């Protein structure tokens, strides 16, 4: 069934009979364009049982053609539908309860909430348990009084919570819901705020991102609501004096004056400071330098450089040299510093997805976060960490995209058909590197660690790498199947999804482990870690010099944990195949790290690209974080260490 707002939108379309812009529908109902599109999807589903369908036009909007003689009957059918016909989910109920509580300062009875939501008091009581936790996470308290329930807490936290609740966010279809039963401000006042923000933003030395523009509109709507209820923001005079030195202060003043005139509400100086903070904390697309101005991003650039080096150390790769990564992090951190210093919470709606799909990146970013926190005087929240992980993940995607996929061609017997397939592959996939051509009988003798995909003219048993069976003449259907296999499907694939490289037991083998050896200093320790990799043919001798030079160039960031260093170098510095070495020093040595010295475990990492080693590295990180396994690495024999690694790899396979 349709919600009240969806019925109203459908009625508007029927009455109009012509195209109506999505933006116009959004303004009518004080919701976002995205919310209207979701409502239109629900309306389309409702219309599936009728002869009529929505028509969409890229510029003009949406239209529903119902014959004039049928319109009265349609409108009559829409009107008597009771709101109770739309059954709210638990999340929608809880959002509605939060919106109701945060819009008022007086207690709200459970009976009224139950009546508004068409549920029992028992259901409201259960929903309030989740609501209470949501509020507590945002620095607010839920008070239970004889007359009902109410929210208590600092004004800044109150506003941030309400703005978060009603602001649009990607992937959150329900965010627009509370605006229907609990409207924040009339649509015409929201429109006035948008116009005021648009006019004021023209004076900023940078262009606001769309998300920042929308966020500012909603924060101002919340501020107007709270001011009218008698609640304003108090700021320390010294903080206001500091903010007054920023160009955003003048913009905030013009914006405040415009809002006073448009909405008839007095905006005190503290609120002007509050608006200034939101402008400073807003994401920008670019920044136009002012004449004679010193580079304001110099401290940020230094902090970002330290963060990139530290993150690279935890990932066992060199992340330096990517200007896009540096610019992206600076652009994100410039407003983030202000948000974090003044407690302006920024919710990352993709945080849970990032944690699930990029857990290995989140761990590395979290471990490297002190490099930013110490230099910028901030504490980075989980939401901000997720944004940083997104930037690092984008870097890995760029690097991965530059590496040509590697395939192994297999035929049933002889090599003739495979050679035919090779020539066809060269024409259809010139960017793909053929790692080898061999008969199926010899497949078991082939090292598959450097192979992304096996393309065979005959069926093969399941193995460690995906297999595509094709005709040696490579039909159009074969080309499509190979393309999907190489990209992870039509939608491509993320680094996390492609992280199917060798396991730790495959890359850290007995000949790569040396225990209780003597090292004179950090350089000697790194060279000792490189020797087994050279002896096993995983790297060229020059790789050892590159590892040493990397530490001289970037500092002791490779000391990623107390007592653990992970020296590495770039693939082009002589890597032949992926491999890890483990050196346990008889006496720890100092690398110059301020907190993690001295080092006893030195783990050399060699990888032919940015991702082949990540699966093994993730296993190793988990083992080193486990106290029992860590003790085995520090005190056990080679056989005991390998047993722990095999046990971990076996658990991963299950």
Active site residues: 568
Segment 206-212 long-range contacts (CB within 8 Å, at least 24 positions apart) = 206/284, 206/285, 206/286, 206/287, 206/288, 207/284, 207/285, 207/286, 208/282, 208/283, 208/284, 208/285, 209/282, 209/283, 209/284, 209/285, 211/283, 212/282, 212/283, 212/284, 212/335
Buried b (16+ CB within 10 A) or exposed e, 353-376: ebbebbebbbbbbbbbbebbeebb
Using DSSP, state whether 575 is helix, strand or coil.
Answer: strand
275 backbone dihedrals φ, ψ, rounded to 5°: -65, -40
Best CA proximity match to 520, nearest among 594, 581, 591: 591
CA distances from 183 to 189, 224, 307, 505 (A): 12, 13, 43, 59
DSSP state for residue 268 in the 8-state scheme: -
Asked if residues 278 and 219 have their Cβ atoms less than 8 Å apart, the reply is yes
Q: Please report, for residues 405, 473, 609, 610, the alpha-carbon distance to residue 402 in angstroms, rounded to integers and kept in the order given.
A: 9, 28, 10, 10
Record the tokens describing residue 225, joined without a space.
């609501």
* Cα 548 to Cα 532: distance, rounded to the nearest angstrom: 15
How many Å apart are CA 165 and CA 129, to the nearest integer? Answer: 17
Give 597's DSSP letter.
Answer: -
- Separation CA 96–CA 442 (nearest Å): 65
Residue 199 DSSP symbol: H
Measured distance between the N- and C-terminal CA atoms of the chain, rounded to whole angstroms:
43
Q: Is the Cβ–Cβ distance between 563 and 601 less than 8 Å?
A: yes
Q: Is 637 exposed, middle or buried (0-12, 13-18, 19+ CB in 10 A)?
A: exposed
Q: Which residues pair with 456 in a beta bridge?
A: 410, 469
CA-based max dimension of the chain: 94
Give the three-state DSSP class for 135: helix
For residue 30, give the H/E element and its range.
Answer: none
136/132 Cα distance (integer angstroms) = 6
DSSP labels for 92-111?
HHHHHHHHHHHT-SS-B-HH
Measured CA to CA, the distance from residue 82 to residue 299 in angstroms comes to 59
What are the φ and ψ backbone dihedral angles of 581, each rounded to 5 degrees? -120, 150
* Angle (CA) 81 85 87, round 5°: 150
Q: Let me know: does 559 contact 314? Beta carbons within 8 Å.
A: no
E strands, 198-272, in order? 206-208
Distances (CA, A) of 263 to 190, 223, 267: 10, 12, 11
């Amino acid at each position: 069934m349709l919600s009240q707002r969806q019925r109203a939108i459908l009625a508007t379309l029927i009455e109009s009979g012509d195209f109506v812009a999505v933006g116009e529908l959004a303004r009518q109902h004080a919701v976002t364009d995205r919310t209207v599109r979701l409502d239109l999807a629900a309306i389309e589903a409702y219309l599936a049982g009728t002869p009529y369908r929505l028509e969409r036009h890229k510029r003009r909007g949406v239209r529903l053609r119902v014959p004039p003689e049928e319109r009265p009957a349609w409108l009559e059918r829409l009107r008597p539908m009771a709101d109770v016909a739309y059954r709210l989910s638990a999340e929608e109920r809880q959002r509605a309860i939060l919106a109701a509580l945060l819009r008022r300062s007086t207690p709200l009875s459970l009976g009224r909430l139950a009546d508004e939501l068409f549920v029992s008091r028992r259901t409201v009581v259960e929903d309030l348990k989740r609501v209470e936790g949501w509020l507590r996470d945002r620095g607010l308290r839920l008070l239970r009084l004889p007359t009902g329930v109410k929210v208590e807490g600092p004004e800044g936290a109150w506003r941030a919570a309400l703005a978060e609740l009603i602001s649009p966010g990607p992937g959150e279809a329900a965010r627009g819901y509370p605006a229907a039963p609990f409207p924040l401000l009339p649509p015409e006042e929201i429109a006035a705020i948008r116009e005021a923000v648009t006019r004021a933003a023209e004076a900023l030395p940078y262009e606001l991102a769309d998300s920042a523009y929308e966020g500012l509109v909603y924060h101002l709507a919340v501020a107007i609501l709270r001011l009218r209820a008698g609640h304003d923001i108090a700021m320390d005079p010294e903080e206001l004096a500091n903010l007054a030195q920023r160009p955003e202060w003048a913009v905030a003043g013009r914006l405040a004056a415009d809002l006073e005139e448009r909405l008839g509400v007095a905006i005190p100086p503290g609120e002007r400071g509050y608006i200034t903070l939101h402008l400073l904390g807003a994401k920008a697309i670019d920044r136009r330098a002012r004449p004679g101005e010193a580079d304001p991003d110099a401290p940020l650039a230094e902090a970002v450089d330290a963060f990139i080096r530290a993150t690279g150390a935890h990932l066992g790769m060199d992340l330096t040299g990517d200007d896009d990564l540096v610019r992206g992090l600076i652009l994100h951190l410039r407003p983030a510093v202000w948000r974090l210093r003044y407690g302006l919470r920024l919710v990352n709606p993709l945080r849970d997805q990032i944690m699930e799909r990029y857990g290995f990146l989140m761990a590395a970013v979290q471990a490297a976060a002190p490099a930013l926190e110490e230099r910028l005087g901030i504490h980075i929240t989980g939401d901000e960490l997720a944004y940083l992980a997104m930037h690092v993940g984008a870097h890995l995607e760029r690097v991965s995209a530059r590496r040509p996929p590697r395939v192994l061609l297999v035929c049933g017997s002889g090599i003739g058909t495979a050679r035919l397939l090779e020539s066809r592959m060269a024409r259809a996939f010139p960017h793909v590197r053929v790692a080898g051509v061999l008969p199926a009988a010899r497949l078991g003798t082939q090292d598959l660690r450097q192979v992304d995909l096996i393309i065979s003219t005959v069926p093969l048993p399941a193995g460690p790498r995906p297999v595509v069976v094709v005709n040696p003449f490579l039909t159009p259907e074969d080309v499509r199947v190979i393309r999907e296999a190489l990209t992870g499907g039509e939608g491509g694939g993320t680094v996390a999804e492609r992280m199917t490289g060798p396991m730790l037991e495959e890359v850290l083998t007995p000949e790569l482990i040396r225990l209780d050896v003597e090292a004179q200093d950090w350089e000697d320790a790194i060279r000792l870690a490189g020797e087994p990799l050279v002896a096993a043919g995983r790297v060229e001798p020059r790789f050892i010099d590159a590892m040493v030079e990397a530490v001289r160039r970037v500092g002791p960031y490779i000391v990623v944990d107390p007592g653990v260093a992970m020296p590495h170098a770039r693939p082009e510095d002589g890597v032949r195949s992926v491999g890890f070495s483990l050196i346990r020093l008889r006496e720890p040595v100092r690398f110059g790290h301020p907190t993690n010295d001295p080092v006893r475990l030195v783990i050399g990492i060699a990888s032919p690209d940015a991702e082949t080693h990540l699966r093994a590295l993730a296993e190793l990180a988990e083992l080193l974080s486990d106290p029992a396994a860590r003790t085995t690495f520090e005190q056990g024999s080679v056989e005991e260490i390998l047993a722990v690694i095999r046990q971990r790899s076996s658990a991963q396979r299950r």
